[in-house]
Chains A and B, each alone.
Chain A
Amino acid sequence: MNTFPIELTALLPLWIVVGGALALLMLEAILGEEGRKAAPVLAGTLLVLAAGCVFHLLSLKGMPGPLFHGAVVVDLYSLTLEGICLLSALLTCVFSASYLRRERAVTGEYYALLLLAVSGMFTLVLASDFLTFFVGLELMSLAAYVLAGYLRVQERSTEAALKYFMLGVFASGFLLYGIALLYGASGVLRFPDLRHFLEQGRYSSPLVEAAAALLVVGLGFKAALVPFHGWAPDVYDGAPAPVAALLSTGVKTAAFGAFTRLFAEAFGLPGNWVPAFAVLAVLTMTLGNLGALGQESVKRMLAYSSVAHAGYLMVGLSAASLAPTDDLERAVAFYLLAYTLMTAGAFGWIAWAAGKGETGISFEDYRGLGLRSPWMGLMMALYMFSLAGMTPTAGFFGKYYLFKLALDHGLLGLVLVAVLNSFVSAYYYLRVVVSLYMKPAEGKETVLPSPPLDLRVAFLLCGLGVLAAGFLKFPF
């Protein structure tokens, strides 16, 4: 018999991460040098433990559903997103250890901040009312601002933190104003209540429409959609590479996943929002890809590619009011999983292959590297093939599900633009592969140092995940 209250057991991953973050903060203060050395191991262990809980909850027959009077909801969607956030955090944790040693910036609070960011992500993806949603978003963002500026003696890192912070708070302001107007119009905060209220149709529509517009602007900033994307390339480029991996995968997964729930379950957007979302999708894909085309730094190319991938996700979200909620959430969650595997892998690869201070991360620096370091080269090539959407990889299946969803609901033109964009993006992803394998090195023939065991496991996990994810049975 289960004697614990369901509130405790169903949210166990969250409790582990929150408790772990607070413990890690104290660890270095109490144990000093030893605590600092133990921090990455402890953080990794806690994340694995939380992942175990998530898998156990996923394997249960019935889902706990709404808890705490509807403030959070534990269902397959939120648990899947929790799993993806944990994957992203675990990979970041592994990538960070060697990176921070090289940059001589090892501290215990880095891992405490990482776990705090994860607890924010959990709160966000579990949220089923606007207050939980906002608190989760802020908890995640505040930790992320600090992580982006973690290398505080480097101008680039600190500047990235400033840009991220200012635009993030600015976006929160819009989002909060939207929530205030919705609250004013309806008097409710829970997603199902709001849906019920809107379906009854007795409301002053200018207030609700203004609120919807403000929420879309908030989403636009947080998910880096064109024309609100200005900060994203700079932040992902300036932040330390492992942090960029977390920001572009875990943080984005939580934000996009939660917004999808918000629009699909709370808002039930009326049909006239399809064009607005479609325009955002087209702009985001096209400008993201165009920005990535001209880059010389692979890290900055990935930053723009992250913008473009938000555009592909918007293609799916455009069908939010047409498609059944389950189908939409499944397609979005699978895409986020595929995207996390390939993007986190690529950023981690850059973090390992770079020199001190992140030198040597341009296309030119990788010339012939794939022939000299075959295993590492193969991994990067896999991530790039997947990002480009080549057939057997997760990137292909992710795009397939999203585009099929849009196609099934009559958005043919949008899908055509998206497919054309995928072709364009193949150019700059394959340019990395060409650099790795088909161009002889000029001058010194560098060989990548062989990565330690934990890094090898992480790269292999991303590589195999990219190959296998499309064939796995998805939990829902």
Chain B
Amino acid sequence: MNSLFPITPAHYLVLSALVFGIGVAGVLSRKNLFVVLMSLELALNAVNLSFITFSRVNGDVTGHVIVLFVVAIAAAEACVGLAIVIALYRLKETVDLDLFKSLKG
């Protein structure tokens, strides 16, 4: 099968770009806070895929190491993000982004 349908690094890079694009589109268009948080995670993990691919292509492990760092940072970010959402939910009882507009001008 491999010879019929070879998967090259380019495929991974295109996939990574697509997933990153989905993440960005999700952040820009969605109104539900949780979906936005998931989209942010999606974007970060798409970049991880790029790092792994480049690491394989370049033949050194630095890219793998970076991915470990990014995974840890993304986990910390998810914690802080969810904490902020919970704090907001306690005040407003909603997770709809459009309803948070006390800061304007």
Mark A residues whose CB is within 8 Å of B.
131, 134-135, 138, 142, 145-146, 149, 152-153, 155-156, 158-163, 165-166, 169-170, 172-173, 176-177, 180-181, 183-184, 187, 189, 233-234, 237-238, 294-295, 300
Give the docked Cα–Cα distance between A300 and B47 (Å). 36
A156 contact from B13, B70, B85, B102, Cβ within 8 A: B102
A173 contacts B103, C-beta separation under 8 Å? no
B87 contacts A177, C-beta separation under 8 Å? no
Please give the distance in Å from A288's CB to the nearest CB on chain B. Answer: 14
Interface residues on B, range: 35 or more
What mask results when residues 65 to 81 of chain B are scored 1 for a CB within 8 Å of chain A, else 0?
11001100100110011
Chain B hits for A181, CB < 8 A:
50
- Number of residue pairs A-B, CB distance < 8 angstroms: 109
Chain B hits for A187, CB < 8 A:
54, 58, 60
Please give the distance in Å from B70's CB to the nearest CB on chain A. Answer: 7
Give the docked Cα–Cα distance between A138 and B102 (Å). 27
Give the docked Cα–Cα distance between A163 and B84 (Å). 10
A166 contact from B27, B53, B57, B65, Cβ within 8 A: B27
A173 contacts B40, C-beta separation under 8 Å? yes
A138 contacts B73, C-beta separation under 8 Å? yes
Chain B hits for A159, CB < 8 A:
88, 100, 102-103
Chain B hits for A300, CB < 8 A:
105
A234 contact from B20, B43, B53, B103, Cβ within 8 A: B103
Main secondary structure on A side of the interface with B? helix
Chain A hits for B91, CB < 8 A:
153, 155, 158
Chain B hits for A149, CB < 8 A:
84, 87
Q: Which residue of B lies closest to A187 (CB)?
A: B58
Q: Which residue of A lies closest to B83 (CB)?
A: A146
Q: Is B32 an interface residue (CB 8 A)?
A: no
Assuming A183-B51, A183-B63, is B23 touching A165 (CB within 8 A)?
A: no
B40 contacts A170, C-beta separation under 8 Å? yes
Please give the distance in Å from A257's CB to the nearest CB on chain B. Answer: 21
Of A135, A161, A166, A181, chain B has the most CB atoms within 10 Å of the CB of A166
Please give the distance in Å from B51's CB to the nearest CB on chain A. Answer: 5
B88 contacts A184, C-beta separation under 8 Å? no
A158 contacts B105, C-beta separation under 8 Å? no
Give the docked Cα–Cα distance between A177 and B60 (Å). 19
Q: Which residue of A lies closest to B57 (CB)?
A: A184
Give the docked Cα–Cα distance between A294 and B54 (Å). 49
**Residues 1-41 of B at the A interface (beta carbon under 8 Å):** 13, 20, 23-24, 27, 33, 36, 40
Please give the distance in Å from A339's CB to the nearest CB on chain B. Answer: 23
Please give the distance in Å from A203's CB to the nearest CB on chain B. Answer: 13
B84 contacts A165, C-beta separation under 8 Å? yes
Please give the distance in Å from B43's CB to the nearest CB on chain A. Answer: 4
Chain B hits for A131, CB < 8 A:
62, 65-66, 69
Using A142-B80, A156-B102, A159-B100 as known contacts, list a sample of 10 further A-B pairs with CB atoms less than 8 Å apart, ordered by residue number in A: A138-B76, A145-B84, A149-B84, A149-B87, A161-B84, A166-B40, A169-B77, A181-B50, A183-B54, A294-B105
